[in-house]
Structure 1
Amino acid sequence: MKIKTFILACLLTPFMAFANYEKPVTWSYSTKSVSDSEIELILTATIEKGWHLYSQYQNGMALPLVITLEPNSNYQIVGTSKYFTEPKYTEHYNADFDDTERFLVGKADFKRTLRIVGNSDFELKGNIEGQACIEGRCVPLSEHFMLNVKGNPNATPQQPHGTTVTKTEIDTVPPVEKTETTTLTTTNTEKAEMSLWLFFLLAFGGGLLGILTPCVFPMIPMTISYFMKHGGKKQAIFYGFSIVFIYVLIGIVLSAIFGQGFANFISTHWLPNLLFAFIFIIFAISLFGYFEISLPSSWINKSSSNESRAGYIGTFFMALTLVLVSFSCTLPIAGAVALGAAGGGFLKPIIGMLGFSLAFALPFTFFAFFPNLLNKLPKSGGWMNTLKVCLAFVELAFALKFISVPDQAYHWGLLDREVYLSLWIVIFSLLGFYLLGKIRFPLDDEQPVQKSWFKFFLVIANFSFVVYMIPGLWGAPLNALSGWLPPMSTQDFNIKEIVYDGAGHEKPVGLCDHASFSDRLQMVTGLNGYFDYDEALACAKSSGKPLFLDFTGHGCVNCRRIEQEVLSNSRIQKLLNDKFVVCALYIDDKIIELPEKLQIKDNKGNLISKLGIKNTYIQNTLFQENSQPCYIVVNPEDESILSGPIFYETNVDVFEEFLKKGVENK
């Protein structure tokens, strides 16, 4: 009986070892003759239901599909494109990371035409790397393929050209037929819709501010008076519709410029970010009153000359004239909406201009129906210029955000966190002093500052915001501004670290020794740990603590969500820092070379010298997992699992129980 049990266990072991190993994409390979000298290589991906495979043209955080062919003197690639021909991809706007993802579902054929230039038969070899995801986790893909190809007896052997099909860098997306934007799950759809609704409301608020500027507000009673005498309510409705039409038309043009393929360019490249920062600064100076941004007078005169035309045509040109005349006041606001929409896909600029124009057109239509309410409007005066100057300070602060993006991406070191905060503190302090009447600008009235309860509470709110930011100079997290500030890792002066070092500690809590690659990889803020499995395992053994493994990735969107929602929680961080040795293992890192002491050999005796490959091998072979995010608590003595694995879990209480179970089982 024992022998039978032993034999059965031996037979089942290989299946048990890979029971959790997910392979959501299976590949098949074939060739098809195109002509006497050319063949078409076809790589077919079959994707499991619910999963999606990222396209070769993926530009955002997720890893793109990369297909490479091994060089061989027997073939040449036809064409100069880096990419295989692929089917129509689906696009999905990820609101959490302001990123447009491109992916494939179901079944997909990737094709490439090759010219056979060798007489003899040969083996065509290549590699496929990429990422497949389902709600909650992602799986890295790595596939090697080989096909036997017959030689061309009529060919004259020659040197091949351009045998490398793709590289890891991503060019601007070439023209590819696109499908309608769809969503992965109901949850993602709701988040994307919420993001667009929020942007619409912000743009609507911008339109309301535009109404209150000196170029527009005095026009309301004059325009309504005209409609009451000549056109009536129908003309007023068409007037408002014309304003909306003009701005939405601008939004459509912006969509063509800021649409697909532009998001990643904006999020990473220095040129558009510095250009946008410059535009915001110019807008701010204009709103301060030092100069006026205006359109050529010939444009305004041409539009005004058509206002006298009868009927709806004349009304349309009245609306166009308003848009042109108010340009100097509304451009900084409408421009901020347009720049805020840049890189957000096709819909975002249109939705932004729709929200702005609806609010902008609202009073001209509303008061045509209720003209008696015009008497309730405040009189024009210096308060309108005060509003412009306040907007100028805000736009000046926003300009720093666009400078900060390339500063981080290119490691310029110009806007560290405390420098950024210092500038914001100064900007909003000056705004507060302006509201108190201590600072004057060219277009401000010479009369004493008018006192009002609204301005009083605005001053309180403004200086409260300034006081809130001040502790950030010493390393306070300022969670409410986390999306606007540079990361904490750029903070040169952090009082928490100084106090800790002053207490006589030489190493951060949770570390036994220096963590390799800590200068190139980042742990979640507030956590201390390692980036190499062997270093973390050695520390866990010496300290007697369980080992917490975080299998993550640079391109893992769900990993970022867990980091923001769970691993940054104070309860979770205290538990991890006090009771565990933490190790973050980046699966998709393709750059970092391991020093000789950290290199290992796989089960075939091949040397593993890159960090990402080592981490992938450890996850696959030791824990029979291959998806991210993946969290496991390990006993350092025998490398057995104490708790987990746990994957995409955003409930802090559940995650805390998972950690406590690991401590108890130790």
Structure 2
Amino acid sequence: MKSKLILLTILSFLSFQLFSQIYDPVSWSVEKKVTGKTTADLIIKATIEKGWHLYGLNIPPDGPVATRISVENLENAKKEGLLQAKSKLIEAFDPNFNMKLNWYANEAVFVQKVTSPDPNAIYAKILVNFMVCNDESCLPPTEEELEVGKSGMKAVEIKEETPLIASAVAAKDSVLKPDSALLVPPAVTDSTAKADLWTPVIDQLRTFGENASGGGMPSLWWIFIMGMLGGFVALFTPCVWPIIPMTVSFFLKRSENKARGRRDAATYGLAIILIYVGLGLLITVIFGASALNSLSTNALFNLIFFALLVIFAISFFGAFEITLPASWSTKMDMKADSTAGILSILFMAFTLVLVSFSCTGPIIGTLLVQASVSGSILAPAVGMLGFAIALAIPFSLFAFFPTLLKSMPKSGGWLNRVKVVLAFLELALALKFFSVADLAYGWGLLDRETFLALWIVIFALLGFYLIGKLRFRHDDETKHTSVIGLFLGIISLAFSVYMVPGLWGAPLKAVSAFSPPVITQDFNLYENDVHAKFTDYELGMNYAASVNKPVVVDFTGFGCVNCRKMEVAVWTDPQVSNLLNNDYVLISLYVDDKTPLKEPYEITENGRTRKIKTIGDKWSYLQRYKFGANAQPFYVMLDNQGKPMAKSYAFDENPANFVKWLERK
């Protein structure tokens, strides 16, 4: 029942996220607190959704937009001192900007002290400029207006995006539903065609089967599947595989009948699942989802995990053995012997968890780190659920079909070879964690070509090991190479050869998620051949009409990491670059472009007045108003009249999918 409840919760989360396109992860409020006869505090509070963070007041010039709070209008009072930040700042490495930054998670509270002859008569109008990000992407800088006065607090949310529409009211739904009446500002009244280009097409996009907007964060289903794969890998380790036949035989022999033995074995498998899921929940309770998110990009944490993976790898190579204290498993064995029923089975499951730790520890640790970046409080438990199900399946399966035990491969030297293969993989993965720390402190020790050189050597050595050209002290001496070993060796050696061009700047899409960014490459012969012809929507659409070509509108940002990934991993594909350069007019609109508009204007959205001040405001509002989305990267395919030709496209590093989208298949 508990497993069904967890799976149902996962499905609910996934179905909710499928249609969620407009992100509004921060809500602001202001209140006035009278502290004395002539004094009061203006308390400005930001409530931040889990997985997102709000940047602090002091941010480096080349970083994101810092939070700025200013009192625009203050009646019957005067400010006393400077604005004070009351919430604790988190300082950590931010992958969106490749630097160490400070931010707030969960909530941020700021206080401005004021003096007044009559604190009850104070009126204040406060303007907040801010930017929020998660571990994968950022939303455009946003502006919000707050008011507090005698009649009570009145919040007017002002976000920085801006369109050509002077007045457009959208519903509070997750997808904008704009008003049918559109008022065009003076700048475009000379051409109804320009106004038509801004006409919302949200409903038309839905008819194509609209995608969820891109976030790039791992879904709960993906974490569950990766957990299962980790569990299946753990099965074939020397710490787990030999235990399977012994445990199943024990349950079948100790019971008076086979039915009870099968029931006990199934209960044993369920106990394993409960223990590992409990471990995932415990980690979340101890750290919290937001703390796990911070840990995943924290330089010190990544260095520690790098060291642990290297130590585990050395152990798997046979230098030494890592085990938990023998007294722990002995006590669990004694408890299992001295108790009966389900409690006895539970203690036996605990014993398996402890005994197998030296093999399962690195797999579980890696899984939990990857789960932590999902932004979901359920992620560690979901990952452990997948891992435990895969680990528990054989114990129940062989109990119901004991004849399968006879065909089960016997323990032997092949189990040690599995450990050595895992050691190579752990060593390669360790470099990924070191890379995060290296980027955080700017050491420059592990640039892209150094990382690739190490991976090339590691996977080449793994290939030679698999075909029998390299041996470690615990390996059995073999006179021939197995067929499986040969094919796996070929794959590993081929992977090494595949990475060689990366030393000269080739994009290497298969390893882009692990390797340092291309900007760290010192020697790069590669050139990106895809460049947007226009960075202005109207100009680009006019040109497309003149040459009678369809349009791809690319909503991007200067600080958008996933946008850069798409440009390197997808746009460089020959088919993609050919289609974008020859068959379409590519228009890139930067939603964080801070160039001021010559004539700022106001619009009404969600019942609130919003100021359009910059070019980035304009394009960001266009994305929300016309297409009902606000995350980047975001791609839409239009005809030269501004009407959609296919569903939108978000972050996906598979060029084949992008080609299918461009070819409208």
The interval holding the TM-score normalised by the smaller chain is: 0.5 to 0.7
* Pairing partner for 1:225 from 228, 237, 249: 249
Deviations 1:229-258 (A, max 9, x none): 213222212222222222222111222345
Alpha-carbon separation, structure 2, partners of 1:142 and 1:458: 55
Tell me the residue number matched to 1:200: 224
Alpha-carbon separation, structure 2, partners of 1:435 and 1:631: 44
Q: 1:56, CA displacement in angstroms?
A: 10
Tell me the residue number matched to 1:489: 519
Q: 1:411, CA displacement in angstroms?
A: 3.3
TM-score by length of 2: 0.63
Deviations 1:363-403 (A, max 9, x none): 22221222122111111110000000000000110011111
Alpha-carbon separation, structure 2, partners of 1:27 and 1:374: 62
Tell me the residue number matched to 2:337: 308
Tell me the residue number matched to 2:143: 142
Alpha-carbon separation, structure 1, partners of 2:373 and 2:27: 33
Q: State the percentage of identical aligned residues.
A: 39
Describe the shift of the 1:70–1:305 C-alpha distance in structure 2 as closer, same or farther (beyond 3 A).
same
Deviations 1:197-218 (A, max 9, x none): 2322222222222222222222
Describe the shift of the 1:187–1:132 C-alpha distance in structure 2 as closer, same or farther (beyond 3 A).
farther
Alpha-carbon separation, structure 2, partners of 1:283 and 1:323: 17
Tell me the residue number matched to 2:312: 283
1:471 aligns with 2:501: yes
Name the SS of the counterpart of 2:337 in structure 1: coil
Tell me the residue number matched to 2:378: 347
Tell me the residue number matched to 2:368: 338
The residue correspondences of 1:261-300 to structure 2 (distance < 5 A) are 261-262=290-291, 264-300=293-329
The question of whether the paired residues in 2 share the 8 Å contact of 1:200 and 1:351 is answered with: yes
Q: 1:451, CA displacement in angstroms?
A: 3.0
Matched letter for residue 336 of structure 1: T
The residue correspondences of 1:78-97 to structure 2 (distance < 5 A) are 81-82=86-87
The question of whether the paired residues in 2 share the 8 Å contact of 1:54 and 1:130 is answered with: no
The question of whether the paired residues in 1 share the 8 Å contact of 2:597 and 2:614 is answered with: no
Deviations 1:122-146 (A, max 9, x none): 774532124699xx99664324567
Alpha-carbon separation, structure 1, partners of 2:330 and 2:636: 71
Matched letter for residue 304 of structure 2: L
* Pairing partner for 2:442 from 411, 424, 427: 411
1:322 aligns with 2:352: yes
Name the SS of the counterpart of 1:306 in structure 2: helix
Q: 1:475, CA displacement in angstroms?
A: 2.1
Q: 1:68, CA displacement in angstroms?
A: 1.4
Name the SS of the counterpart of 1:308 in structure 2: helix
Alpha-carbon separation, structure 2, partners of 1:27 and 1:254: 30
Name the SS of the counterpart of 1:307 in structure 2: helix
Tell me the residue number matched to 1:588: 592
Tell me the residue number matched to 1:377: 408
Describe the shift of the 1:224–1:241 C-alpha distance in structure 2 as closer, same or farther (beyond 3 A).
same
The question of whether the paired residues in 2 share the 8 Å contact of 1:55 and 1:64 is answered with: no
Alpha-carbon separation, structure 2, partners of 1:56 and 1:212: 37
Describe the shift of the 1:295–1:589 C-alpha distance in structure 2 as closer, same or farther (beyond 3 A).
farther
Tell me the residue number matched to 1:423: 454
Alpha-carbon separation, structure 1, partners of 2:215 and 2:45: 33
Tell me the residue number matched to 2:53: 59
Tell me the residue number matched to 2:127: 127
Describe the shift of the 1:329–1:449 C-alpha distance in structure 2 as closer, same or farther (beyond 3 A).
farther
Matched letter for residue 117 of structure 1: T
Tell me the residue number matched to 1:10: none
The question of whether the paired residues in 1 share the 8 Å contact of 2:44 and 2:111 is answered with: no
Describe the shift of the 1:54–1:354 C-alpha distance in structure 2 as closer, same or farther (beyond 3 A).
closer
Q: 1:301, CA displacement in angstroms?
A: 1.6
Describe the shift of the 1:60–1:247 C-alpha distance in structure 2 as closer, same or farther (beyond 3 A).
farther
Alpha-carbon separation, structure 2, partners of 1:238 and 1:356: 17
Alpha-carbon separation, structure 2, partners of 1:183 and 1:216: 49
Name the SS of the counterpart of 1:477 in structure 2: coil
Q: 1:465, CA displacement in angstroms?
A: 1.4
The residue correspondences of 1:418-457 to structure 2 (distance < 5 A) are 418-445=449-476, 447-457=477-487
Larger Rg: 1
Alpha-carbon separation, structure 1, partners of 2:65 and 2:251: 57
Name structure 2 gaps, 5 residues minimum. Answer: 1-21, 56-62, 89-102, 152-173, 177-205, 256-260, 544-548, 601-611, 625-629, 650-656
The question of whether the paired residues in 2 share the 8 Å contact of 1:631 and 1:644 is answered with: no
The residue correspondences of 1:501-580 to structure 2 (distance < 5 A) are 526-527=529-530, 552-554=556-558, 563=567, 567-568=571-572, 570=574, 573=577
Q: Of the two structures, which has the highest relative contact order with CA contacts closer than 8 Å and spacing of 6 or more? A: 2
TM-score by length of 1: 0.62
The residue correspondences of 1:113-262 to structure 2 (distance < 5 A) are 116-119=114-117, 124-130=124-130, 140-143=141-144, 187-188=211-212, 195-231=219-255, 232-257=261-286, 259-262=288-291
Alpha-carbon separation, structure 1, partners of 2:387 and 2:131: 39
Describe the shift of the 1:532–1:356 C-alpha distance in structure 2 as closer, same or farther (beyond 3 A).
closer
The question of whether the paired residues in 1 share the 8 Å contact of 2:335 and 2:344 is answered with: yes
Q: 1:307, CA displacement in angstroms?
A: 2.2
The question of whether the paired residues in 2 share the 8 Å contact of 1:587 and 1:616 is answered with: no
Moved more, 229-238 or 555-564: 555-564
Name the SS of the counterpart of 2:336 in structure 1: coil
Matched letter for residue 359 of structure 2: C
